[in-house]
Amino acid sequence: MNDHKKRVVILGGGTAGWITANLMATHWKDKGFDITLVESPDIGIIGVGEGSTPPLKGFMDVIGVKESEWMPECNATYKVGITFKDWSTKPGFTEYVHPFLAQPDQFTAPAFFHNSFLRRKGVDLEGHPDHFFLATEMIRQKLAPVTPENFPFEIAYGYHFDSGLLGKFLARVAEKKGVKYKSATVTDVLLDTQGNIDCLKTAEGETLKADLYVDSSGFRGQLIQQALKVPFQSCAESLFNDSAVVFATEQEESYAPHTISTALKYGWAWKIPLTNRNGNGYVYSSRFVDDDKAETEFRQHLGLLDSDVEARRLKFKVGRVEQHWAKNCLAVGLSQGFIEPLEATALDMVQETVTRFIEAYNNGNYTDKYRKEFNDRISGRFDAVRDYIVCHYRITSRSDSDYWIANGSNEKISPSLRAILMSWMAGKNITDELLDQKLDVYFPNVSWNCLLTGKGIYPPQEQLRPGNELANKYKMEDIHEFIRRCALNFKSHQEQLQLLRQ
């Protein structure tokens, strides 16, 4: 490492800023880094983002935080998948679960692939993904995904949490790791003659200088987009949603470990169970519906038309910056991009960006030697997530509004997604195509197959023919029995959450 102490300034104290601070402070512990996080007392955090994917567990492990320490404090619950409702009108396929995978699934997944492949070829076999994965059964029975010692299998799971409380919790952990905190609003960003960031000026009259600047300033992208002028590649042509209306509702007596995503007329609504409330939001496109009408539809959906519960409205832009690491600045979080919240991938992108950056920066002996590889890798991940999410909309069979008709007939999809869909429609195995298109870097083959089969992208029932003995080689009752018995190993969701509080 170079001789002088490296100074890092992180601009922004949202979840992205605090995840960054924790990862840097952990990985660069004893390496002589001086890390300061600056947060405006006047500009708030976005305050949504309450669902995660499984890697968040890895993040907590890396920074040394136990579930019993953070989950009760953030009203967190477990999540083993997302239930999609009403995205498809196909009989038998109006609902399905996108499961997080569990090790025992390796015994049932071959049956899923076999059956669904032959059903696409016209054989009448059970091809709905909900029959084949342990996560779906855990949702059905409201079980927590924590394995007892005598069931030694890995179960991937994520979480739901209060994002404001999580930010506060992570701030305390980071400060214990030596991260300094400054409450100040950055008003000016000065560049040097090489175009690097030279310093930040604050409204409070301070000058902040660093070797490395992290832009976690949210959608404004104050450093990466405004100061360094890194272009933003919008994906609004393929993802129409740009607005959300959000409010909380009372928690029910018991709740399953899943996010529910229900398609409405101009978008979709999430329901996220926390221990003290449900988080709800309607994500829609302002091109097709105005804010008032969307809020009315959402209230109606929740049975709250006459309630005075206050709603919060948000606007967002979808896409990503062309470079996540430019000059001496790393963009993390909403400043680097956002691919709408359908699969709750944003925090995972934060974690991946920072982890890969640290790796690249270390490997290059704290220089920008591996900047291009890093940028290509992170952009590839964004684009793979984008394609998976666009696919949800493109294959819809809904036609009850201009919004769904426009989505279902949208030709402005990427060549990579087009290749996957053509391969699927031609009845091919899409595994190789996913590899060729580098689309399995985020969502694996099984997720793509759940998405397409779960929405019923099969020949119509009346065209299916009975299968012979070979086609029927997997007995559904054996699969159900195997999953039922695996599920016997888990405690109820509520009971497990209660244990964390003791």
# of chain residues touching ligand FAD (CB under 6 A)? 37
Q: Measuring CA to CA, which residue among 406, 428, 409, 408 is closest to residue 419?
A: 428
Measured between alpha carbons, how far is 392 from 345 in angstroms, rounded to an integer?
Answer: 15
Say what the alpha-carbon torsion angle 164, 232, 187, 34 is, to the nearest 10 degrees. Answer: 70
Catalytic member of 5, 66, 79, 142: 79
Please name every residue paired with 77 in a beta bridge, in sequence order, or none if there are none: 160
Verify whether residue 79 is a known catalytic residue.
Answer: yes
Site string for ligand FAD, 35-64 (x = CB under 6 A): ---xxx--x-xx-xxxxx------------
Residues between 262 and 281 with contacts to ligand FAD, criterion CB under 6 A: 281
Measured between alpha carbons, how far is 289 from 310 in angstroms, rounded to an integer?
Answer: 20
Instruction: Determine the interface stretch with ligand FAD among 78-86, 214-222, 355-363, 457-465 (rule: CB under 6 A).
Output: 214-222
Radius of gyration (C-alpha) of the chain in whole angstroms: 23
Measured between alpha carbons, how far is 30 from 411 in angstroms, rounded to an integer?
Answer: 52
Q: Which residue has the tokens 């000059």?
A: 327
Q: Is 399 in the site for ligand FAD (CB under 6 A)?
A: no
Residues between 218 and 247 with contacts to ligand FAD, criterion CB under 6 A: 218, 220, 222, 244
Residues between 68 and 127 with contacts to ligand FAD, criterion CB under 6 A: none
In the chain, what's the furthest Cα-to-Cα distance? 79
Q: Is 344 in the site for ligand FAD (CB under 6 A)?
A: yes
Q: Is 186 in the site for ligand FAD (CB under 6 A)?
A: yes
Q: Measuring CA to CA, which residue among 128, 27, 73 is closest to residue 461?
A: 128
Q: Measuring CA to CA, which residue among 353, 365, 355, 362 is closest to residue 325?
A: 353
Shortest CB 349 distance to ligand FAD, Å: 8
Instruction: Determine the interface stretch with ligand FAD among 8-16, 375-383, 439-447, 450-458 (rule: CB under 6 A).
Output: 8-16
Expressed in percent and rounded to 5, the helix, strand and coil fractions of the chain are 40, 20, 40
Whether residue 44 is annotated as binding a ligand: the answer is no
Instruction: Tell me whether strands 277-284 and 267-273 are parallel, antiparallel or unpaired.
Output: antiparallel
Q: Is 65 in the site for ligand FAD (CB under 6 A)?
A: no
Whether residue 421 is annotated as binding a ligand: the answer is no
Q: Is there a contact between 327 and 339 (Cβ–Cβ < 8 Å)? A: no
In the bound state with ligand FAD, the residue whose beta carbon lies nearer, of 217 and 445, is 217
Pick from 9, 17, 78, 238: which binds ligand FAD (CB under 6 A)? 17
Q: Measuring CA to CA, which residue among 207, 172, 177 is closest to residue 35?
A: 177
Residues between 153 and 182 with contacts to ligand FAD, criterion CB under 6 A: 163
Binding residues: 13-16, 79, 186, 334, 343
Binding residues for L-tryptophan: 343
Interface ranges with ligand FAD (CB under 6 A): 11-17, 38-40, 43, 45-46, 48-52, 163, 185-186, 216-218, 220, 222, 244, 281, 283, 314, 316, 333-334, 341, 344, 346-347
Residues involved in catalysis: 79
